[in-house]
A and B are shown apart, each in its own frame.
Chain A
Amino acid sequence: MIYRTALLSILILPNIGAVMGFIIGRKSEKIRDAFNIFITGATLLIVTLLFKKVMIEPIKLFIPDIMGIGLSLKLDAFRYIFVWVTIFVWFLCTMYSTQYLIRYKNRNRYYSFFMLTLGSTVGIFLSQNMLNLFTFFEIMSFTSYILIIHDQDQYALDAGSSYLGMAIGAGLVLLMGLFLLFDYAGTLDIEELPNAIKYIGNIKYLISALIITGFGAKASIFPLHVWLPKAHPAAPTPSSAILSGILIKTGIFGIIITVHMVMESDYILSASILVFGFINMFFGGMMALMQRNIKRILAYSSMSQAGYILVGIGLIGLLKEHKAIAIYATLYHIFNHAIFKVLLFMGAGIIYMILHELSINKICGFGKHKTRLKIVFFIGLLAIIGMPGFNGFVSKTLLHEALSEAAHMYHSIWFVIAEIIFTLSSAFTVAYLLKIFISVFVEENEKYTGQYKEYIKKRALFPMTILGIAVIYIGLYPNALMELIFNASKTFGVHEVSSLHVYSVDSIKTSIMTIVLGIVIYIGFVRKYLLKIVDGKKLYMNPSLTWINIERDIYWPVMRITFSVSSTIFHWIDRAAVNSVHCIGKGIRSLSGMQIKLNKKRENKIELKNVVDKRNMLDWKEIVDTRSLSNIMVKMYGNMSSLMYAVFIFAAVFAVILVVVVVFHMPKS
């Protein structure tokens, strides 16, 4: 019972925090900040305390009647990873926000929605029912929208509408999938679903495609990623950190649930996820390489990292009985990515906080003498590029192993290509982070020497430090999380427990090689092709601006054309009834206004006599009597009703009736 209450409380606490925080915030900002940190801290504490229990057995909670089918929550080890990392990151971000947001407006609103987003995100991870999951997913979309457009300038609003459009659209596609799923399965409970859909045939691919599309937009699967590079730079940094670190994971979570829990690791599905994973990985990395805005680089980086996770998800399905390694890799990377990406964003955030500028062309050389910042950022960098000794290395190595396993299993040329893409993408990661790091922290720029120090407060650096420690700790002790992850893999039906041996010579070698390749790319491509010197200044170019932009060149035109075509059609239909009446009216009017020429020769003798001039006479002859049909009709009607014609009518009617009666008379049958 107490565990259930605890479970409910981690769902409800943030929501209470949102409301209370808003009320408190109207009185005092300081108390509110403290309160928010307290709430997130308390939630974190509860979750952490639940660890023991979760390791033994999942906690389940069912509240009937909510939304008709009831609220069904479950916390097992698999979900625990998501939940814990979410709350952990949130806790740190809340702390970070108190510093970051100091000079922003609408702080109160921000915190409320920040907490609401936490509540709904936790809800997503806890939901045991697809419908509940969807509900929280949608709530999260809306609340996070407010975080994204916090700046309320034109750029933020544009990014926001992009995000919202994608979110709602994807949500609806997802909903379509759920409709079909429910229609075929008759239930939406995640545990019951696998049995329920066993025999539904190929429709399950349609269903999964729809659901994955829905979740994929959040997980920024190519080509649904368009909102990502816009939203991240627009949002305040803690929000971007959350977006990148956690919200992407909600999509990932949904995909895992769909592919592995509901569809039981279907081969085709897994393979397609794998393909998308590689596309994401490569495309994200490449785009990140081109960008100049730090946050956008990091956003594309998130996309690329999401690709890694997707690859892991795909591999789980492909590896079948050997899937344990892939599961470890996936879960580990989810965890790690959340941590180091948040770390990197926070670093970028501090720069922005001070300079209100994110383009590396402008902030070049800013961090040269900011040692603490530099170190923390560097830790993040090392983690993401997979430097041995940092957590990124652990998961990447596991992933790579899983990939080799799959290659070993299938012996396909495709896996060679996959291997190349994998290495190349990792090298890209190295290259684009180097691009940031070198230009911001290594290069010299006298503009920034020795100032702005006072801005960096402990409250902002503290979360980063914690994250940095976490990065290194996991990197050094890869087995630290293993208990949790082993437990989690039970959810996937893996029961053998094996410890990890990440640090082998091979793996380190691969890693180093990748890093070297990355450096080569950096030097050979980034510095050579992207860096131009204009007016004695080094400026990075972004060639991708001229490339085909999926959103600008495909989505918008298609939407616009569809929209205008259908609008035209519907406008026409809209006016159809009214217009047809008008049209008939007009027709009648124009018909009645029709000018009929009557070339009457008026034999007016008196006038003739008076006419002396011949020319005049000619003129007079040409007089054409025109009148409109309506006049004629009116006149005719007037004549008709005159006595003369009335008698005519009478005669005519009588004659007609006589004829009709006599002619059409039927002999009695």
Chain B
Amino acid sequence: MEISILFPIIFPFIMGILGFCLKFKREKNRNKFLYSSVVINLLFIVYIIRMDLPLKLHLIKINTFLDIYFRLDKLGVLFALLVSILWIFTTAYSIAYMNHEGKERQFFAFFIITLGITMGIAFSGNLFTLYIFYELLTLATFPLVIHTQSKEALYSGKKYLIYSFGGATLVLFGMILLFSITNNLSFIEHGILGATGLSNKNLLLMIYMVMFIGFGVKAAIVPFHSWLPAAMVAPTPVSALLHAVAVVKSGIFSLVRVTYFIFGSEVIREIHGNVYISVLVIITILLGSFLALHQENIKKRLAYSTISQLGYILLGIVLLNEESLIGGLLHLINHAVIKITLFFCAGSIYFMTQKKEINEIEAIGKNMPITMWCFSISAISLIGIPPTNAFVSKWYLALGGLSENKVIFPVILLLSAFLTAAYLMPIIVTAFFHTEENKDTRNLDPPLEMLVPIVILTCIVVLLGLFPNIVLSFIKEIVHEIV
């Protein structure tokens, strides 16, 4: 049953369109519908994982290039599982949150469709398929970004589109050049270039740079990052999705694919592609953290934080050794979980009190203790304080940097961790320890649909930190195959 690989991709499309067309009499029914869609999708994934790996399906094969080809491998499984699990939480959260924003029908249609597209990215078997879903992702998330449809939202949405399409164009450019060399774009461990491509190093370097920057646009690599903070105008579940799960991580995932499945680490080493990229990556890390310090809006601060954290993951990718890639992939997961929690918390604050700025949330820890606790734990984790999960990934990243004999990388990591502390701790301190007299002591923790995902995710944050071995061993297997 190779066709079953299509289920998790197509199912959300159907459900999304169905959900848009059906007119639910009661909200409850719609919610059930949504829940069942995402849960069933997760089940599909579990189902196909339980079948023998690797699963291959040429959906439409027109020629070596125009080939819609799906393939199940461990990396894809990792990403798919991450996304679909987090999607369930996001669904629960946004059902409660979107009451507040309106136009839910449109929202949820695109929301569910985006899940399918992200699954498509996860299971793409070649660059072309990946590219198609990558473009679709832009299109499907665009209505989500501009959901509020205010002028600012439209402006940000346009920015998002321009950047994304610009990036995709670069990818296309790289893809064309690459295809002219290899005549093959399938993902294969250790790359498809082999010994053939090495004759033309400069061209290969150019292709790699172009593709890296192209996909890097979605992964918010500096200087192509400014869509990300701008996209903050979106409703919080969307920001969480954009930042933590779907969009940026798709960019990262694609970069892993390009680096290790198309080029292969040996080739990149040979062409010195990683050297140039790592400069950009370092700037990304530092810039994100420095500028986060200047943001007063919580979500914006988190957005810049995302930039720097994505830089970590990118660093893990470009260092080209096992440890760093382990760190990178682990941070992919960890950052996803942490950032989604942080965003959910920020969203809850906004949802309950309409407060967005940091100086407005004084002593909010009194009113929203659970939310703020979860926020604090995730924030501490993001800084990389043991025993939370981000520490583990940063550990591997630093070791990866060291085994390249470059002390600069761990130093950058730590500097950025310090800055992370500098921009996250004030939020916590303000929320808990800045007392405002005569505060009302109402409990403002958000409704259960929103609170439960936050709490569970926080537990995951801590548990992943305490017992990383489950995920770690899986990632090690992946990495072992591809580096």
A68 touching B226 in the complex, CB below 8 Å, given contacts A179-B398, A567-B293, A567-B294 = no
The distance in angstroms between the C-alpha atoms of A161 and B433, with both chains bound, is: 12
A183 touching B414 in the complex, CB below 8 Å, given contacts A66-B466, A67-B387, A168-B421 = no
Interface residues of A in 573-621 (CB under 8 A from B): 573-578
B291 cross-chain contacts in A, Cβ below 8 A: 567, 570-571, 574
Q: Mark B443-483, 1 if CB is under 8 A from A, else 0.
A: 00000000000000000000001111100100000000000
A65 touching B402 in the complex, CB below 8 Å, given contacts A176-B414, A567-B293 = no
Q: Mark A124-167, 1 if CB is under 8 A from B, else 0.
A: 00000001001100110010000001001000010011001100
Contact of B411 with A176 in the complex, beta carbons under 8 Å: yes
- A626 adjacent to chain B (CB < 8 Å): no
Measured between C-beta atoms, what is the minimum distance from A560 to chain B in Å?
12
Measured between C-beta atoms, what is the minimum distance from B261 to chain A in Å?
27
- A524 adjacent to chain B (CB < 8 Å): no
Contact partner of A570 (CB less than 8 A), chosen from B224, B286, B468, is B286
The interface on chain A, measured as residues whose beta carbon lies within 8 A of the other chain's beta carbons, has a size of 39
Chain B residue nearest in CB terms to A157 = B433
- A171 adjacent to chain B (CB < 8 Å): yes
B residues apposed to A, CB below 8 Å: 222-226, 283, 286-287, 290-291, 293-294, 380, 383-387, 391-392, 395, 398-399, 402-403, 407, 410-411, 414-415, 417-418, 421-422, 425, 429, 433-435, 465-469, 472
A157 cross-chain contacts in B, Cβ below 8 A: 429, 433-434
- A257 adjacent to chain B (CB < 8 Å): no
Q: Mark A374-417, 1 if CB is under 8 A from B, else 0.
A: 00000000000000000000000000000000000000000000
Contact of A573 with B434 in the complex, beta carbons under 8 Å: no
The listed residue with most A CB atoms (<10 A of its CB), out of B293, B403, B410, is B410
Contact of A152 with B434 in the complex, beta carbons under 8 Å: yes
Measured between C-beta atoms, what is the minimum distance from B468 to chain A in Å?
5
A573 cross-chain contacts in B, Cβ below 8 A: 222-223, 283, 287
Contact partner of A171 (CB less than 8 A), chosen from B224, B385, B387, B403, is B385
A-B contact pairs, 26 of them (CB 8 A): A67-B465, A131-B386, A134-B386, A135-B386, A138-B386, A142-B385, A149-B429, A149-B433, A152-B433, A157-B429, A164-B421, A164-B425, A172-B415, A173-B414, A179-B395, A179-B398, A180-B410, A563-B293, A570-B286, A573-B283, A574-B222, A574-B287, A574-B291, A577-B223, A577-B226, A578-B226
Main secondary structure of the interface of A (DSSP, over half): helix
Contact of B410 with A176 in the complex, beta carbons under 8 Å: yes
Contact of B399 with A183 in the complex, beta carbons under 8 Å: yes
A576 cross-chain contacts in B, Cβ below 8 A: 223
Contact of A183 with B403 in the complex, beta carbons under 8 Å: yes
- A196 adjacent to chain B (CB < 8 Å): no
A residues apposed to B, CB below 8 Å: 65-68, 131, 134-135, 138-139, 142, 149, 152, 157, 160-161, 164-165, 168-169, 171-173, 175-176, 179-180, 182-183, 563, 566-567, 570-571, 573-578
Contact of A135 with B387 in the complex, beta carbons under 8 Å: yes
Contact of B399 with A179 in the complex, beta carbons under 8 Å: yes
Measured between C-beta atoms, what is the minimum distance from B106 to chain A in Å?
29
Known contacts A152-B433, A172-B415; can you find 10 more A-B pairs with CB under 8 A?
Answer: A66-B387, A66-B466, A138-B386, A157-B433, A164-B425, A175-B384, A179-B402, A566-B290, A573-B222, A575-B226
Contact of B429 with A168 in the complex, beta carbons under 8 Å: no
Contact of A172 with B466 in the complex, beta carbons under 8 Å: no
Contact of A68 with B392 in the complex, beta carbons under 8 Å: yes
Contact of B402 with A180 in the complex, beta carbons under 8 Å: yes
B410 cross-chain contacts in A, Cβ below 8 A: 176, 179-180
A67 touching B466 in the complex, CB below 8 Å, given contacts A134-B386, A161-B429, A575-B226 = yes
The listed residue with most A CB atoms (<10 A of its CB), out of B290, B291, B384, is B290
Measured between C-beta atoms, what is the minimum distance from B43 to chain A in Å?
28
B290 cross-chain contacts in A, Cβ below 8 A: 563, 566-567, 570
A169 cross-chain contacts in B, Cβ below 8 A: 418
Measured between C-beta atoms, what is the minimum distance from B69 to chain A in Å?
34
The distance in angstroms between the C-alpha atoms of A169 and B385, with both chains bound, is: 11
The distance in angstroms between the C-alpha atoms of A70 and B16, with both chains bound, is: 45
Chain B residue nearest in CB terms to A70 = B469
A160 cross-chain contacts in B, Cβ below 8 A: 429, 433
Measured between C-beta atoms, what is the minimum distance from A578 to chain B in Å?
5
A67 touching B392 in the complex, CB below 8 Å, given contacts A135-B387, A171-B385, A172-B418 = yes
Measured between C-beta atoms, what is the minimum distance from A68 to chain B in Å?
5
Measured between C-beta atoms, what is the minimum distance from A227 to chain B in Å?
15
A168 cross-chain contacts in B, Cβ below 8 A: 383, 385, 417-418, 421, 425
The distance in angstroms between the C-alpha atoms of A152 and B362, with both chains bound, is: 12
Contact partner of A68 (CB less than 8 A), chosen from B222, B398, B407, B469, is B469
Contact of B402 with A574 in the complex, beta carbons under 8 Å: no
